[in-house]
């Protein structure tokens, strides 16, 4: 009798641990199909957006190539090249300092350096704005310039978060500023 009870319990346990029923497998497969469909749709939208951006860039490149001999275009390209290299350098330095502060957990040690870099970034933006005023921009260059101006409008708030966070020894404030800086990249 004991053996029969043990065998019965063993069979019940095996049955309970068995593979899912065909209905459960079908429901699971349907759910996975829906999730994959949603992912595909999201990726399709992103792909279409990137195609549109690529078409815009191709048109801009085409227009720039047709006007490469234009002195204003060449001057603007030189200004943007100087601006972007200076901005990249300053942002990389700022990133290095913030990473150092994350690791040491001491914002006070890099506070002065952060303020100097922020001033340099502001000067880079001001220099760009001053130099571009002297150039007659065609339609393509004007779109690029307007896009950069939108970025320039967003920079002060992001830099203020970083500066205030460093002054208050508040890494959360600095992180807010870094996040805002990362958001500015959509204008470039």
CATH of the domain at 96: 1.20.120.290
Task: Report the sign of the C-alpha dihedral through residues 94, 98, 103, 106, in that order.
Answer: positive
Task: State residue 106 phi and psi, 5-degree precision.
Answer: -130, 90
Picking from 66, 82, 98, the residue at the C-terminal end of a domain is 66
Q: Please count the structural domains in the chain.
A: 2
Query: CB under 8 Å to 188, separation ≥6 — which residues?
Result: 147, 148, 151
Give the domain range for residue 109. 70-187
Same-domain check for residues 75 and 155: yes
Same-domain check for residues 61 and 96: no
Residue 5 lies in a domain: no
Query: CB under 8 Å to 120, separation ≥6 — which residues?
Result: 86, 90
pLDDT digit of tens for each residue in the chain (188 aa)?
555 556 655 555 555 555 667 777 788 778 877 876 676 677 667 667 767 776 776 776 666 666 566 788 888 888 999 998 998 898 898 888 888 888 887 777 788 888 899 899 999 999 999 999 988 888 888 888 998 999 899 888 888 888 888 888 888 888 888 888 888 877 66
Residue 9 lies in a domain: no
Residue 28 lies in a domain: yes
Residue 12 lies in a domain: no
């Amino acid at each position: 009798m004991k053996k029969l009870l043990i065998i019965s319990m063993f069979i019940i346990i095996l049955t309970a641990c068995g593979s899912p029923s065909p209905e459960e497998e079908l429901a699971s497969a349907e759910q996975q199909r829906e999730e994959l469909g949603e992912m595909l749709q999201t990726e399709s939208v992103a792909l279409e957006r990137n195609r549109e951006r690529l078409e815009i860039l191709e048109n801009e490149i085409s227009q720039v190539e047709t006007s490469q001999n234009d002195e204003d275009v060449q001057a603007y390209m030189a200004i943007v090249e100087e601006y972007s290299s200076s901005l990249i350098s300053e942002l990389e330095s700022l990133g290095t300092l913030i990473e150092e502060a994350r690791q040491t957990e001491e914002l006070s040690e890099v506070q002065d350096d952060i303020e100097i870099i922020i001033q340099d970034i502001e000067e880079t933006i001001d220099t760009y704005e001053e130099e571009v005023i002297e150039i007659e921009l065609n339609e393509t260059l004007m779109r690029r310039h307007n896009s950069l101006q939108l970025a320039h409008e967003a920079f002060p708030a992001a830099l203020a978060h970083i500066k205030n966070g460093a002054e208050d020894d508040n890494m959360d404030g600095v992180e807010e500023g870094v996040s805002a800086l990362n958001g500015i990249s959509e204008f470039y």
